[in-house]
Chain A
Amino acid sequence: MENNVGLIIDLDRCWGCKACEVACKQELELGIGPRPIQVEEIGPRKIEDRLHKDFVPVLCQHCHQPACREACPTDAIYRAEDKSIQINPDLCDQCAACEAACPYGAIELTEQYGAVKCTLCFSRRENDWLPSCVQHCEGRAFTLASSQKLSSVIAEKKYAWSTGQVVYVSNKWISFGKALTVNPE
């Protein structure tokens, strides 16, 4: 398994079909309720006489400076060897501080499953399967890459944005700016 793994999301390739949402829930064995990945629809909005509708899969960004980890009073949230952010359920006392702290709404505290978020399919990758969202995406919008390879993909695109191990790229638009760091803390 790669260490320092990253997930590239090409927004130009997201169809908004939500196969990733169901793939993820099946992999993490979740019922109704939590959605570790959720595709948000932006638009339709008219820009320069053309109607646009875009989709953004929102999930744990595996931040370089995770607000959830800062907020967790029991140190249940940690950075794994592959640089992904993981939750240790044995240490979690379900206080929901992480849920409130995450700026992306990417952690949900549930009665049934505890704190739930994207694991970058840690256990799949151990068996050489791609994360379920990456494999099943109908637009092949997701790419799993080591962070060395990330930069070559990003270089081909006009816009990129990242705050951690997840990188959004697009040739159309990303407004958060182009500044990008690919190396975690």
Chain B
Amino acid sequence: MKIEKMNNPRHTFAAKLLGSDIDSEYRKLSSFSEPDQHKPLGQKTSAPDGQQRFKRGQIPPGVRVVRSACFSCNTACEVLAFVDETTGKVLKVEGDPESPVTKGVLCAKGLAAKDLVENPERIRTPLKRNGKSGEGKWESISWDNALDLVSEKMIAYKAQYGPQSVAVLEGTRRGWSRSYSRLANAFGAVNNGAAGWAQCLWPRLVENNVTFGAPYLESSDCENTKCMLVWGVNPPATWPVKAAEIMDARERGACLIVVDPHLSETAAKADLWLQPRPETDTALGLAMIHVIINSVRYDQNFVENWTTGFRRLKEHVKECTPEWGARISRVPADLIVKAAEIYAGTSPACIARCLSVDLDHDSLQACRVLSILATITGNIDIPGGNILVSRRGEISQNTHEFIGNHFLPKEDVPLRRGYRQFPFLCTDLCPVPTAHMPTLWETIGTGEPYPVKAAIIFGSNAAVSYSNSGRVQEALESLDFLVVADLFLTPTAERADVVLPASSWLERNNVISSFQTAYTHTIAQQKAVSLPDARSDVDIIIDLAKRLGLADKFWENETAMYDMLLEPTGLTLSEFIKKKHLYAPLEYYRYQKDGFKTPSGKVEIYSSIFEKNGCDPLPTYTEPFQSPQKTPELAKKYPLIMTSARRPFFRHTENRQNPLLREQCPYSPVRIHPETAGKLEIRDGDSVVIETPTGQCKAVAELTEGLHPDVIQTMPGWPGEENVNNLIPWNEFARGMGTVSMHSIMCRIRKNESIKGEKLHGK
């Protein structure tokens, strides 16, 4: 039992309130109800404080409120920054009650964001390293000196070793838009990319292009839906706006089905929770498709008129019975049938999915199964379904044109690492063609097949955020020249030769749009505060481009770039900042006007593009690269399946420096089933060591019955000894895309005898 909780009056009260002290009289449960017994869909519940809820109050004297958009993740929630008029300091960051998307909601990360400008560890000036990597000897230099040094080195390496010898790497692109990809392409750096591109979002984008001829299917229209199939995503931890939408939809009577190996916050609220073995999503999805087709619950009209390959699909899933799906996924067959019947039998229904399908060992196919589910049930582009979003107000940056794909000499492109093996990531089949990062890191480390001498990294803590971190760190050490632009001296920046102080989102003007909301919208980010020497990424990129002799391929300054991006709206940046945001509601049934932009003009259940490029045209289940079934020998020594999930306080490697967020989660946790922990003599709060043949890391045990006994759940993003990425190998990659499988890693766990457990039990 959790010692800390036992002695805590708050917990005692909460437990009593909910009757966890075994008082059966009060155990009245709302039993699972079929969707037709749910309340009819009506108006949104009006709260007694409804009128006040969606309005801003008065601004206290001496305070200026700057409207902006949070960049703590990719959702871009509208926020208000309260600034002290006298000191110019940010007093607090809050949600904007008048935002039609967020309606005032904001998550812990956004609420604690003022630390970005307050934290004493912020890098204040450009730094040049004196002494060895990691010694911590730095010299402040001017921006001119820093950027001259960087551009001279880039030009020199290019001249001596070719343009492929300079790697141009980035993080989550929140702030520099695609101007950074443009810089890489204009310079000729075929080896550009990011930790996330084969791991997050790009499998979905590529798959949507292949299936629907549209880049986004991420707009699940919860506001108008009757059934939500939330697949491998936990919105209260990672996607607050979606969490609010789901909760409102539930209140209206919409049914919630959740697929998650862990009893997540979302799963805890589900009408039906499916708990699959990690990375068996494709099998589970195929079994659901089997049920839907066999019971003729599919949308015959849509399938007939707007899809290709349905008959082949029917044949293809013949053997994918619920029992077959149950054997693989461990979800009982009757629950698979129930989930399929509810999802297909309730119209409209939508799927909310996120990066867990991207992290699959066969990422493109895992994404495709869900797209096919939405397609055969006729939930595409209908109110309450999944809406294909392609236009978001401003000029799209994820295009070959914007990123200057044409700047690259054609004969250089095949030099890109991964080019032949992963066409959907590294060739023009990808909206932003990039290198395959594990292959590139191996090249950096070994010099094979050619030397990569320098790396320019913007907004990415590469030493921590990539899988197989040990290898990445070795590769970083082997570079001749490393430049890092970031807010803090991260483990990556510590290894750099030159560090450039980037500005945080509170310090810059920017134009952004998000695919993670149910609106087609574009928002202005407005400068709330200035730090003397920090510069925005776009500003640095344009300056660097000029010094590299690439001025003709760039804009005069960042304002000019945003003016150009905003052209379709008819506004300039300064006009737009006054306007703050542009919204348009989702557009339904667009395909009826324009068709689907696939080779056949229809939704390609059977993909002609996959067929042409060496991928299965219909999704087939394959076992994860590592699993008790696939690698029984490995499983003898490493019997547990490691998966991972985020908490609401951090994004990737970010925010570990923030005291309010760190207080919520002081160390890297690992969730373990009590039965498994008991056998290993591990108690709640014990320090443990997790091991794979690739590496090891430390974590603190959290015992929970919300997992299968042979599954443990870690949390990525911690540096040093707590870095789970140390454990993840690069033996195999997802077909076509090059994804590193991250949710089915065989491991073992033991008590960390060097630390006394008691020390960690206290507060």
Contacts and interface: CB of A to CB of B under 8 A. Distances in A.
Interface of A: 11-13, 15-19, 21-23, 25-27, 31-33, 38, 40, 42-48, 50-56, 58, 102-106, 124, 127-130, 132, 134-140, 143-146, 149, 152-153, 158, 161, 168, 171-177
A31 B659 CA distance: 7
Contact of B706 (A21, A47, A53): A53
B30 interface: yes
Contact of B243 (A15, A33, A158): A15
B112 A26 contact: yes
Given A127-B58, A172-B29, A135 B97 contact: yes
B159 interface: no
B17 interface: yes
Interface in B1-59: 5, 8-11, 13-20, 23, 26-30, 47-49, 52-53, 55-59
Given A135-B97, A144-B49, A104 B10 contact: yes
A47 B236 CA distance: 24
B53 A44 contact: no
Given A19-B107, A51-B263, A105-B8, A174 B17 contact: yes
B368 to A, nearest CB: 30
Nearest to A37: B10
17 contacts: A15-B236, A21-B664, A22-B112, A26-B93, A32-B663, A42-B15, A48-B27, A48-B29, A127-B58, A127-B60, A128-B52, A128-B58, A168-B17, A173-B19, A173-B27, A173-B29, A174-B18
A135 to B, nearest CB: 5
B53 A17 contact: no
Given A17-B108, A26-B112, A140-B47, A175 B10 contact: no
Interface of B: 5, 8-11, 13-20, 23, 26-30, 47-49, 52-53, 55-60, 92-95, 97, 104-108, 111-112, 114, 236-237, 240, 243-244, 247-248, 251, 263, 265-266, 268-269, 273, 648-649, 659-661, 663-664, 704-706
A22 B8 contact: no
The 9 closest A-B pairs by CB, nearest first: A175-B19, A105-B9, A15-B236, A175-B26, A40-B14, A129-B57, A128-B57, A56-B14, A53-B268
B48 A145 contact: yes
Nearest to B238: A17
B57 to A, nearest CB: 4
Given A17-B265, A19-B106, A175 B659 contact: no
A166 to B, nearest CB: 11
A104 B9 contact: yes
A138 B10 contact: no
Nearest to B50: A143
Contacts of A127: 57-60
Given A15-B243, A152-B48, A42 B18 contact: yes
Contacts of A48: 27, 29
Contacts of A174: 17-19, 26
B706 A51 contact: yes
Contact of B111 (A15, A136, A145, A173): A136
A152 B112 CA distance: 35
B247 A139 contact: yes
Given A17-B236, A143-B49, A171 B112 contact: no
A17 B237 contact: yes
B57 A42 contact: no
Given A17-B240, A130-B52, A174-B17, A136 B105 contact: yes
Nearest to B707: A44
Contacts, number: 201
Contacts of A40: 5, 8, 10-11, 13-15
Contact of A22 (B11, B19, B29, B660): B660
A159 B251 CA distance: 16
Contacts of A172: 29-30
B267 to A, nearest CB: 8
Contacts of A51: 263, 273, 705-706
B20 A42 contact: yes
B112 A130 contact: no
Contact of B23 (A136, A161, A175): A175
Nearest to A46: B705
Contacts of B95: 135-136
B17 A138 contact: no
A175 B13 contact: no
Given A44-B704, A53-B268, A15 B247 contact: yes
A75 B393 CA distance: 59
A27 B52 CA distance: 18
A174 B237 CA distance: 25
A168 B16 CA distance: 13
Given A22-B111, A135-B104, A138-B107, A106 B29 contact: no
Contacts of B20: 42-43, 45
A19 B235 CA distance: 13
A175 B52 contact: no
A42 B659 CA distance: 26
A149 B48 CA distance: 7
Given A53-B265, A138-B236, A138-B247, 9 more contacts: A22-B108, A22-B661, A40-B15, A44-B704, A135-B105, A138-B244, A143-B48, A168-B17, A176-B17
B49 A18 contact: no
Contacts of B108: 17-19, 21-22
Contacts of B19: 173-175
A179 to B, nearest CB: 13
A53 B263 contact: yes
A32 B10 CA distance: 18
B53 A130 contact: yes
B18 A54 contact: yes
B703 to A, nearest CB: 10
Which of A13, A19, A48, A143 has the most CB atoms of chain B within a 10 A radius of its CB?
A19
Contacts of B28: 158, 173
A54 B52 contact: no
A161 B251 contact: no
Which of B10, B58, B105, B112 has the most CB atoms of chain A within a 10 A radius of its CB?
B10
Nearest to B240: A138
Nearest to B31: A48
A137 B8 CA distance: 24
B739 to A, nearest CB: 28
Contacts of B59: 127
A25 to B, nearest CB: 6
A102 B9 contact: yes
A175 B8 contact: no
Contacts of A136: 94-95, 104-107, 111
B10 A38 contact: yes
A18 to B, nearest CB: 6
B701 to A, nearest CB: 15
